[in-house]
Amino acid sequence: MEMPSLLPHPGAHWVGRRDWFALRRRTGWRPAKGGASAEVAAAEEEEAVGTGGRHGRERRRLLLMGAGRSEAPMEHQGRAAAAPAAAATITTTAAATAVSSPPGPPASASSSSGEPGPGGPVLEPRRREPARRRASSTSAASSSSLTSSASAAVDSQFRGAASGVSRERPGSYSGATHATRQRLESLKKNRPLFPWFGLDIGGTLVKLVYFEPKDITAEEEEEEVESLKSIRKYLTSNVAYGSAGIRDVHLELKDLTLCGRKGNLHFIRFPTHDMPAFIQMGRDKNFSSLHTVFCATGGGAYKFEQDFLTIGDLQLCKLDELDCLIKGILYIDSVGFNGRSQCYYFENPADSEKCQKLPFNLKNPYPLLLVNIGSGVSILAVYSKDNYKRVTGTSLGGGTFFGLCCLLTGCTTFEEALEMASRGDSTKVDKLVRDIYGGDYERFSLPGWAVASSFGNMMSKEKREAASKEDLARATLITITNNIGSIARMCALNENINQVVFVGNFLRINTISMRLLAYALDYWSKGQLKALFSEHEGYFGAVGALLELLKLP
């Protein structure tokens, strides 16, 4: 079932970005330039996170917001112009890190550590500061624009704000009447306080959705807690955070009305192994003072609950993964994609010439088979908004694809793995029906092109030697994808459902898999099953968590 290299996906311009998963492997490459430094740090970070290894354990806590890690993505974004500024501003944290990180800290970081900073968030003890300090940083922040080039400045302000603002605890401070009144108003409207986050902590990736209110009145603006403002600005004006945090700008939902507030919904992701750093940041920036509720789902909501509490002083509201997923999907489908359709399908998926991605109107969503492909795969049968069941799942998912690719090809990022796969030929690796029967196996109506044995050719030494890394990556992708398709098809048959929606981050920028799923489902079901996809692939759990926060149905 080989597929040619496929059409670019709307997200295709993200391909090749190495920041994503960049921390994966020590052997991974990075472009030289300023990025190199980040790479070293990143690699060390990996050690620390993964094995508690040789180099500076504390570093992990800086990861997300820290150091030069944002450089690489920025370059890719064509915002190189901002780099010098960034380099300058980064230094506070980088310098702090450098203290505890042995092998050759990045030149850019050490040379430009001009701004002293508050001694590094890692080492900084929690202490209360007078609110006055906050005002000065606010004025600095307000002067910065929302343009992306200002990100570095914002970054610096964020940090500044964090170290200053966070100490405010409403109620413990007599001057907080404004804030109190605002809160009371909010409560009246039965609306939680800003910021509005939804968090989905998966096995590999953390998905974060953030609602940015755009209808803030002048009064509100004035009363807005400084840290809140800086969070908003930090998140909305950057597209990359730390070494591997990404905001999927192309997914941003604009002019959304949520609980009577108008605003934009932002979609951000970062590796799960950066969670400790994220929590540390929450502590450093004193999120707990905002009295916001962190609605989180995914396995990590359990795994990191204690860390959130003890390190970040944050109480997580843990939510059921599947509830959130379904809620998120239904909501996102209902609001569309900035005027376009959220749901789509492929016509002529096997034909590279004629293949078309077409919008699909999911006006009759039920029953629906929902296949969520993250690190592993969950399959749900959804009969109505509140009536669904988990049918089954498989451990052969995105994590398997990427894990095997790492082992087989030495690749270091998901993007790299996909890019290799796009150039490979799986038929050199897989044994096809025609390799065994010389053509179609008519007795069982099996077409000659069907894969009889995944990696079957690799039983032979000669063929092992003849297969390229790209071929292996392609075969891994085809194997995992076909298998998911096969299990999904059987579930659809068993549950008597004929529309199958595939979601999850495995499908991000992965048109090969989507087209293969579309084709395989159609072919083996003789046209009975339809494979559907959704633009916001992996973010539904996080959206669902946000909706829970807002108590939306």
Partner 1 sequence: MKINIGKLDSCVLITQPAQFLFVTESFVGKVLGMPERQILFCPGSELFLLFLSTGGSLTKLAYYSTVQHKVARVRSFDHSGKDAEQEHEPPYEISVQEEITARLHFIKFENTYIEACLDFIKDHLVNTETKVIQATGGGAYKFKDLIEEKLRLKVDKEDVMTCLIKGCNFVLKNIPHEAFMYQKDADPEFRFQTNHPNIFPYLLVNIGSGVSIVKVETEDKFEWIGGSSIGGGTFWGLGALLTKTKKFDELLHLASKGQHTNVDMLVRDVYGGAYQTLGLSGNLIASSFGKSATADKEFSKEDMSKSLLHMISNDIGQLACLYAKLHNLDRVYFGGFFIRGHPVTMRTITYSINFFSKGEVQALFLRHEGYLGAIGAFLKGAEQDNPNQYSWGENYAGSSGLMSTSPELFPMQRARSGTFDLLEMDRLERPLVNLPLLLDPSSYIPDTVDLTDDAMARKYWLTCFEEALDGVVNRAIASQPDAIDAAERAEKFRQKYWNKLQTLRHQPFAYGTLTVRSLLETREHCLNEFNFPDPYSKVKQRENGIALKCFQRVIRSLDSLGWEERQFALVKGLLAGNVFDWGAKAVSDVLESEPQFGFEEAKRKLQERPWLVDSYGEWLQRLKGPPHKCALIFADNSGIDIILGVFPFVRELLFRGTEVILACNSGPALNDVTYNESLIVAERIAAMDPLIQSALREDKLLLVQTGSSSPCLDLSRLDKGLAVLVRERSTDLVVIEGMGRAIHTNYHAALRCESLKLAVIKNSWLADRLGGRLFSVIFKYEVPAK
What SS3 class is residue 455? Answer: coil
Residue placing its CB nearer to partner 1 in the complex, 405 or 518: 405
Report residue 151: phi and psi, to 5°: -55, -40
Shorter beta-carbon distance to partner 1: residue 238 or 513: 513
Report, in Å, the least distance between residue 409 CB and partner 1. Answer: 10
What is the C-alpha to C-alpha distance for residues 428 and 175, in angstroms, rounded to an integer? Answer: 72
Q: C-beta of 301: minimal distance to partner 1 in Å?
A: 9
What is the DSSP-derived secondary structure letter of residue 439? S
Min dist CB 22 to partner 1, Å, is 11
Distance from the first to the final alpha carbon of the chain: 42
Q: How far is CA 235 from CA 116, 205, 276, in A?
A: 24, 18, 18
Nearer to partner 1, 41 or 405 (CB): 405
Report, in Å, the least distance between residue 413 CB and partner 1: 10
CA–CA gap between residue 498 and residue 494 (Å, rounded) = 10
| Diameter of the chain measured on Cα atoms | 84
Nearest to 401 by CA among 372, 376, 431, 427: 376
Quote the least distance from Cβ 302 to partner 1, whole Å: 3
Q: Which is nearer to partner 1, 192 or 298 (CB)?
A: 298
Q: Give the shortest CB-327-to-partner 1 separation in angstroms.
A: 19
Contact assessment for residue 265 and residue 209, using Cβ atoms and an 8 Å cutoff = yes
Q: How far apart are CA 279 and CA 250, in angstroms?
A: 26
CA distance 445 to 236: 55
Q: Which tokens go with 85? A: 């500024």
Cβ proximity to partner 1, 204 vs 227, nearer residue:
204
Active site residue 537: no
Q: Which of 539, 548, 540 is nearest to 258 (CA)?
A: 548
Nearer residue to partner 1 within complex by CB, 47 or 419: 47
Indicate which residue of 47, 168, 224, 321 is catalytic. Answer: 321
- What is d(CA 148, CA 485) in angstroms, rounded to the nearest whole number? 40
HSE (side-chain half, CA atoms, 13 Å) at 216: 18
176: helix, coil or strand? coil
Residue positions annotated with a catalytic role: 321
